[in-house]
Amino acid sequence: MMINATEITHFTLSPYFDTGAYRYLYFLIIQISYAAIICANLLLIVVICVNRSLHEPMYMFLCSLFVNELYGSTGLFPFLLLQILSDVHTVSISFCFLQVFCVYTYACVEFINLVIMSYDRYYAICWPLQYKSYMTQKTVTMLISLTWLLPFIMIVVLISLSAPLQLCGNVINKVFCGNYAIIKLACSDTRVHNIFGLIYTFISVIIPLVLILYTYVRILKVCFSGSKQTRQKAVSTCTPHLASILNFFFGCCFQILQSRFDTNVYFLTCQPLFNPVMYGLNMSKIRTICKNLLLGSVGKSRIFIKIVQIEK
């Protein structure tokens, strides 16, 4: 049953009307954050791609994670920057659903990627002798393809259910478009959408969390029963991964609470910047190559300057 359904051509994002005199401060903070995200993730993607010593499963999964950070932040931050400076805070329906697709696929890919990385660490620590025979190039390619393909299919289904809805309003109380925020504006019955939303949450959040917990329980069991060297290896490789999981999980919890219960807290996770910094600082192999790359560039520039001065 539809009540007062109207022809909606655009959505209005209400939080931007409250920015006032702080809009330029918000713009500067987000611009600096986005620039740092681009630089940090691109640097590590290049480092992993051009160094053959990093063409191992763990670093390939990391590369997929960094690509996803670029994808997700590009789907959100330029839009935020434009809206902060604009006096008109409206978006078309088609663009709104495009942003839903980008943000939701980013979140889903992130979680699945973290699950696969946890299983990679599980096999490397718990089954070191069988690791290379199990984690072959074909297996790695298949897992990365699954990481990206499954979320894209799920979000296409999610949007195909939401797009035909008849809406009674067009005001979204969020700084970006969210699927549930659109469904709340519907005049018609949304039980099917809510059921699929729960299924989507179960597949993309609950199952990955259970799998991650299972792998780390097994890893901890091996660590406590193993040697000191085994424990040190586990801590050095698992610490950044655990920190990334906790950061992303709490970010998702805040976002779900905000969209479900209309709290006034807008929590934008720092995951796209958190991951490259965490992995870059904690993984000695990446840290050493980045240091050599940066110091090498500085050294070459100094030599070039000296040559130019001598020629003068």
Q: Domain holding 220: CATH number?
A: 1.20.1070.10
Residue 53 covered by a domain: yes
Q: What are φ and ψ of residue 189, in 5° steps?
A: -65, 130
Residue owning tokens 């490789």: 237
Whether residue 174 lies inside any domain: the answer is yes
Packing angle between helix 93-126 and helix 57-74, nearest 10 degrees? 160
Query: Does 114 fall in a domain?
Result: yes
Q: Looking at the domain assignment, is residue 23 inside a domain? A: yes
The pLDDT tens digits along the chain (312 residues) read 344 555 778 888 887 776 667 788 888 888 888 898 898 899 889 888 888 888 889 889 989 999 999 998 898 889 888 888 888 888 888 999 999 999 889 988 988 998 898 888 888 888 888 888 888 899 999 999 999 999 999 999 989 988 888 888 888 888 888 888 888 888 877 888 888 888 888 888 788 888 888 888 888 777 777 666 666 766 666 777 777 777 777 666 666 555 444 444 444 556 777 777 777 766 667 777 777 776 665 444 443 334 334 344
| Domain ranges, residue 72 | 10-311
Burial of 268 (0-12, 13-18, 19+ CB in 10 A): middle
Domain count across the chain: 1
Indicate whether 1 belongs to any domain: no
Whole-number Å distance between alpha carbons of 61 and 64: 5
